[in-house]
Structure 1
Amino acid sequence: MDQYEQNNLNGTPVPVPPYPEYGALAASARKHSGPGIASFVVILVAIVVYIFSLTLVTAAVIDIADQSIDAITEDMMIHSGAIIGILMMMLAGVLHLVALILSIIGLVLKNRKKLFAILGLSFSVGIFILLMILFALGSI
């Protein structure tokens, strides 16, 4: 008796064919990875926070740009838009790091779809590269 035969109620062997289509069915029935979905959502929130914080900081800089250096330093310390924008930029950086870690965890999980983990990782890396370019241009 080979591995695909089993006994029926009368004791006679009944051939049971292997189901190669089961592998395709099982692959489509896999769930998305939870950390991958979380990383995608977190990086989207981080992008919104980045945009909002950059808007606040830019508005504060434009508001005090026509003053002397000493007045700019004093106004930046009391200008709430700049302070909130900088704090939001730090929050977005923490969210960015969390999204990066979650996307790596989502990629490592076995038997899960990795679409959202790949999207979260690619957005994280893309935003990181854009921020490095922005900081490099700002330091010139």
Structure 2
Amino acid sequence: MEYNPQSKQEPLDTESEDRFASEQPSEFQQPYQYQEMKQDFKHSGPGIASFVISMVTVLGYVIAFVVVGAMATSVFDQSGNLLASASEVIITIGISVLILSALNVIGVVVGIVGLALRNRRKVFGIIGTIINGVIVLLFMMLISTVFVNAGGL
């Protein structure tokens, strides 16, 4: 658009008025404007990382409990008492759960970072944060239940 100021004393001739009237869109014809749609945004990298961390930890929990379940069959003797090798199974499950829960905390933090980014899709950030947060919450509830029940011994 050109800016062409006219003084108030000079009237516009009719030819220039017709020319300007034909260049301006009518009320039904809007000029084309590019509007950025949400579908044009990229996925946030931290959101994807949070989702991947949540999937890895869920798979890790499943594998850890299957392996420990298989190891636990040889932990008890015929009378149901724990053998001396039970400490290896208990340490294995404890370390694996602690490592996986630390990954879940990292996943929650990375997911929140992914949600804070502007002009990015937030789907993976939301899903990853929710899954990691639920697992962390369940782990905290498990620990608190153990502590409450251990006080009664």
Distance 2:90 2:68 in 1: 5
So what's the TM-score if we normalise by structure 1?
0.69
So what's the TM-score if we normalise by structure 2?
0.64
- Size of the aligned set, in residue pairs, is 123
Aligned to 1:39: 50
Identify unmatched segments of 5+ residues in structure 2.
Answer: 3-18
Aligned to 1:26: 37
Deviations for 1:78-129, whole angstroms, at most 9, x for unmatched residues? x3x5443332222212211111111000010001110000001110122223
> 39, 46, 49: which is aligned to 2:60?
49
Distance 2:74 2:145 in 1: 21
Could you say if the C-alpha distance between residues 62 and 27 of structure 1 is closer, same or farther in structure 2, counting changes exceeding 3 Å?
same
Amino acid at match of 1:127: I
Could you say if the C-alpha distance between residues 82 and 57 of structure 1 is closer, same or farther in structure 2, counting changes exceeding 3 Å?
farther
Identify unmatched segments of 5+ residues in structure 1.
Answer: 1-5
> 81, 86, 98: which is aligned to 1:76?
86
Secondary structure in structure 1 of the residue aligned to 2:74: helix
Contact 2:101 2:136 in 1 (8 A): no
Contact 2:112 2:125 in 1 (8 A): yes
Alignment identity in percent?
28
Report the RMSD for the aligned CA atoms in angstroms. 2.7
Return the index of the structure with the highest Cα Rg: 2
Distance 2:95 2:136 in 1: 18
Aligned to 1:64: 75
Contact 1:56 1:84 in 2 (8 A): no
Q: CA deviation at 1:62?
A: 4.1
Could you say if the C-alpha distance between residues 58 and 133 of structure 1 is closer, same or farther in structure 2, counting changes exceeding 3 Å?
farther
Secondary structure in structure 2 of the residue aligned to 1:63: coil
Could you say if the C-alpha distance between residues 56 and 127 of structure 1 is closer, same or farther in structure 2, counting changes exceeding 3 Å?
same
Could you say if the C-alpha distance between residues 104 and 18 of structure 1 is closer, same or farther in structure 2, counting changes exceeding 3 Å?
farther
